[in-house]
Amino acid sequence: MRPLEGITVVSLEHAIAAPFATRQLADLGARVIKVERPGAGDFARAYDERVNGLASHFVWTNRSKESVALDLKSEDGVEALRRLVAKADVLVQNLAPGATARMGFDAATLAERHPGLILCEISGFGQNGPDRDRKAYDLLIQAESGFLSVTGTPDEVVKAGCSIADIAAGMYAYTNILAALIERGRTGKGRHIDVSMLEAMAEWMSFPLYYAFDGAPQPPRTGAAHATIYPYGPFETADGVVLFGIQNEREWTSFCDNVLRMPTLAANPLFATNSARSTNRAALAETITAVLGKQPTTEVVAALDSARIANAAVNQMADLWSHRQLAARQRWREVQTQAGAVPALLPPGQTDARMDPVPSPGEHTARVLAEIGMSPPPKA
């Protein structure tokens, strides 16, 4: 039995944040009923066609769900939603600000009608405050949260290569729902969870935020190198690039002794502490590159491993698909879609996650409506 079997989640969701949160609930065994617009459904279905004609984002975040098409601008659609919510343990929504409240699904009304219901609302800026009604997309929150200001090169800000603001909000929604389910088990009462993408990213930005404490300069943009720890980043070899990181003085001494073969460098006052190395990184980079740039990558990696210095290959997506560690730990499964089976990763920490199909739009409408005593609208 999976941990959330017997829990029903109704989700008014689109894009990434809410679907990622609810997919993780489904991974743990929850029944997730995804309410979509009739016809095209969740607009994330049309982001691209990279997975046998299906959208990459959608395939990732929507397995193991039931898709129900409801016209929430009609009375029948709203009534169906009322009946679904009445039977649910959790309601998740990330629609436009105020959209659910206009349909009568605001937090106060739901708490009165369904005191055991857990309501999780995900938005860009939160359910109150001066920015409540602002539209928010992942890249916009990356900018608003200061993430872009510390990511990139000195000459150019760069966004994250994945939807980091959506993912952050989805993770906090997921963990808050789990905590609320535990709380409800003790008290019998539900909870209103208000997750904003801005607050999720602000939490994740707390290292650079504190680094800039009390008006101090914020971390500079340093490309793939760490902004405040050095050496920590990519370095050229004779035939490629290797990325490694020095985390403490013991590792720095070992690096000088066993990789650079320059044991006296460790005590040089210009480089003897991390702060000194970071301040004088340009001079240190010249010394490191002068040594590593004459050696093939395989030799550099062997020396780093021997010195117990953490290092990594700068992999492409094709390398991740075939990563030996994921294969050795048997992390890959198959998930069915309307376009055939596709590989999918088990969620981190889980070995028996639910891995059911990715639904087609409205696939489960008739069955789910029959459960609540309603029929689907006639086809046009």
Q: Which amino acid is at 158?
A: V
Out of 133, 155, 166, 257, the active site residue is 166
Q: What is the DSSP string of 168-209?
A: HHHHHHHHHHHHHHHHHHHHS--EEEEEEHHHHHHHHTHHHH
Name the 3-class secondary structure at 215: helix
Question: 156 — phi, psi (to 5°)?
Answer: -150, 130
Q: Facing residues of 334 across strands? A: 343
For the chain, the distance separating the N- and C-terminal CA atoms, rounded to the nearest angstrom, is: 42
The answer to whether 64 and 20 have CB atoms below 8 angstroms apart is: no
Alpha-carbon dihedral angle through residues 280, 282, 287, 288, given to the nearest 10 degrees: 100
288/234 Cα distance (integer angstroms):
11
Q: What whole-number distance in Å separates Cα of residue 223 and Cα of residue 39? A: 43
76 is known as an active-site residue: no
The CA distances from residue 255 to 248, 298, 305, in Å, are: 11, 16, 10
* 145 closest CA partner among 196, 198, 194: 198
What kind and span of H or E run contains 102?
helix 99-102
Q: Which residues are catalytic?
A: 166
